[in-house]
Amino acid sequence: MSKLGSPFGQAWPDRFNLCTYFLDHNVDEGRGEKTALVCGQRSHTYASLQRRVIRLTAALRGLGLGAEDRVLIVLPDGLEFAETWFATLRAGGVFAMVNPLLKAKDFNYYLEYTKARVLVTDSSVLAEIGEAARSSRHLRGVLVVGSEAGDFTPYEGAIDAQSEEPGAGFVEPTGPDDLAGWLFTSGSTGEPKACVHMQRDFAFSTETFALQVAGYREDDVCLSVPKLFFGYATGTNLMFPFRVGATAILFPERSTPDAIFDLIEQHRPTFLTSVPTLINNMLRSERCDQADLSSLRVCLSAGEALPASLYEQWMERTGVEVLDGIGSAEMFHIYISNRMGDVRVGSLGKLVPGYEADILGPDGEVVAPGEPGRLRIRGGSTALCYWGDKAKSQETFQADACTTADVFSVDEEGYFHYVGRGDDLLKVSGIWVSPLEIENALLVHPAVDEVCVIGKADKDDLVKPQAFVVLAEGHPGDEALAGHLKAHLKDHLAPHKYPRWFEWCAELPKNDRGKVNRKLLKARS
């Protein structure tokens, strides 16, 4: 039993369902008429959402969903995403969420891999997912949000057919160790794999990071740049605000600087979940200096390391602290983070309460403070396994510990510093080099908007750094600039670390979580 993170004292109760923990308690505690979700001109109070979830739960069971069956959620951000997520849990099902902008081959993979019993998707996705859904051997039902359901079941029709009385919409009497959700890895080294999580895992991170570090409050209004299918955003813009009875703003459109500035102006959020790429793009926007960001009290950043230069620019322009942190699908959410009033620029902060960590050398032994090594993290939100991959599971998970591919160092004061992923580090002139260090040094140059550094073999088959650079407006990509950037780096870093090649890009490729897709750039190189 968890000693930390349970809202019930020393142990989780025998009966524990995340729909009750996140949604129902708000109605029970008198917040039924408070606005829970807003999406465009539509909204839900906690009570109206609960009523819809009860009816959708009955509909899911009517389609053949049983306890621990998977529901594949392929929806844009909106009220229906939240309804489906809660109804899946209420029914005792297991949610699996993927990006609705993927292509047919990806959806075919996810349907086959999850063996989902029910698919809930949107009419805008049918052109890509319809054929895979029709040919799936495992699906028992498909619900489609929107005006065109084709030969599948209309989402609203399925809800309207159910009684408003609980009936088949009852809460499945799950326990804290029952399965609840699959969170997918980014697939950087192959097809995405699912990290299998129990009910208690999501509550543990909520009680620790959300309440004790990020500090969610009932009066918060929350807005997220990443979309809900990404566990980072499912936490910060659905689970965490619901735990305290706050309000979440959803929008299905792409997360552009203009969209975020418009939503901040319209809804006056207090909590902004972001990623370094969007922080950079907002700073580069001509609207940044004129935008009124005074409503914000917290800005979160994760997904990839936040360069110190971006943090400093953001603070100078907005005055809003950015709490940079690191989490993973394996641990559900953030386990190392900066805190309000204690941001150590250039670090990822300290351990979130309830987590422990070691930095391991090549021999598996703990290294001294300041020395780099692989991070081993332990806590109450560790996944059970990677579904369908026993060998990788045994390599990564050891009871409540997860040995990551991330290389860190930790200083004497307990601040963690990210070096990079072990498979991204470069050995140049016999010395290990972190691409992140080179990228951060380049980002302080006024000609550089974005950059990604990878390794490339020279004519002698020796690895040297190569930089893919998105230039700031007004700076031409030519040999003269490459020379200036090399000279700039030699003034800031050891001589062997400068890139031997520069490639000028209109933009860097990103994966569906907003991270730079290094795998594509390596293949291109």
Who's near 286: CB < 8 A, 6+ residues apart?
none
Q: Is the separation of the CB atoms in 41 and 197 below 8 Å?
A: no
In the structure, how many helices (H) and strands (E) does the chain have? 17, 26
Q: Could you give phi then psi for residue 55, rounded to 5 degrees?
A: -70, -40
Q: What is the pLDDT of residue 215?
A: 97
- Residue bearing tokens 């963690």: 416
Domains contained in the chain, CATH given: 18-31+38-174 (3.40.50.12780), 202-421 (3.40.50.12780), 426-524 (3.30.300.30)
Give the model's pLDDT for residue 520: 86
| DSSP state string for 104-136 | HHHHHHHHHHHT-SEEEEEGGGHHHHHHHHHH-
CA distance between the termini of the chain:
49
- Asked whether the CA dihedral 132, 135, 139, 142 is positive or negative, the reply is positive
DSSP state of 366: B
The DSSP secondary structure of 390-402, one letter per residue, reads HHHHHHHEETTEE
Residues 6 or more apart in contact with residue 194 via CB below 8 angstroms: 96, 113, 114, 182, 183, 184, 185, 386, 387, 388
Which burial class, exposed, middle or buried, applies to 51 when counting CB atoms under 10 A from its CB (0-12, 13-18, 19+)? middle
Residue 385 CB burial class (10 angstroms; 0-12, 13-18, ≥19): middle
215: phi > 0 → left, psi -120 to 50 → alpha, else beta; which?
Answer: left
What pLDDT does 431 receive?
64
* β-pair partners for 448: 471
Buried/exposed 311-341: b ≥16 CB within 10 Å, e otherwise? bebbeeebeebbbbbbbbbbbbbbbbbbbee
- CA 368 – CA 217 distance, rounded (Å): 38
pLDDT by residue for the chain (525 residues), tens digit each? 334 446 556 689 999 999 999 999 999 999 999 999 999 999 999 999 999 999 999 999 999 999 999 999 999 999 999 999 999 999 999 999 999 999 999 999 999 999 999 999 999 999 999 999 999 999 999 999 998 999 999 999 999 999 888 788 999 999 999 999 999 987 555 688 999 999 999 999 999 999 999 999 999 999 999 999 999 999 999 999 999 999 999 999 999 999 999 999 999 999 999 998 899 889 989 999 899 999 999 999 998 878 888 899 999 988 999 999 999 999 999 999 999 999 999 899 999 999 999 999 888 899 999 998 999 999 999 999 999 999 999 999 998 999 998 889 999 999 999 887 777 777 676 666 788 888 888 988 999 998 999 888 887 667 788 999 999 888 988 999 999 999 998 888 877 788 999 999 999 988 777 778 888 888 887
DSSP 21: I
Q: Report the pLDDT value the prediction gives residue 4, as an integer from 0 to 100.
A: 43
Extract the tokens encoding 129.
Answer: 């997912």
The closest of 183, 156, 21 to 86, measured between CA atoms, is 21
| HEC sequence for 272-303 | EEECHHHHHHHHHCCCCCCCCCCCCCEEEECC
Residue 187, sorted as left (phi over 0), alpha (psi -120 to 50) or beta, turns out to be left
- Relative to beta strand 373-378, strand 401-410 is antiparallel
Sign of CA dihedral 162, 166, 170, 171: positive
Q: Residue 221: count other Cβ atoms within 10 Å of its Cβ.
A: 19
Structural element, H or E, at residue 308: helix 308-318
Structure tokens at 254: 């792409």
| pLDDT at site 189 | 53
What confidence score (pLDDT) does residue 3 get? 41
Residue 186 CB contacts under 8 Å (≥ 6 apart), including other chains: 192, 329, 511, 513, 515
Question: What's 172-241 look like in SS3?
Answer: CCCCCCCEEEEEECCCCCCCCCEEEEEHHHHHHHHHHHHHHHHCCCCCCEEEECCCCCCHHHHHHHHHHH
User: What count of Cα atoms within 13 Å lies in the side-chain half-sphere of residue 230?
Assistant: 23
Q: Which two tokens stand for residue 170?
A: 């009852």
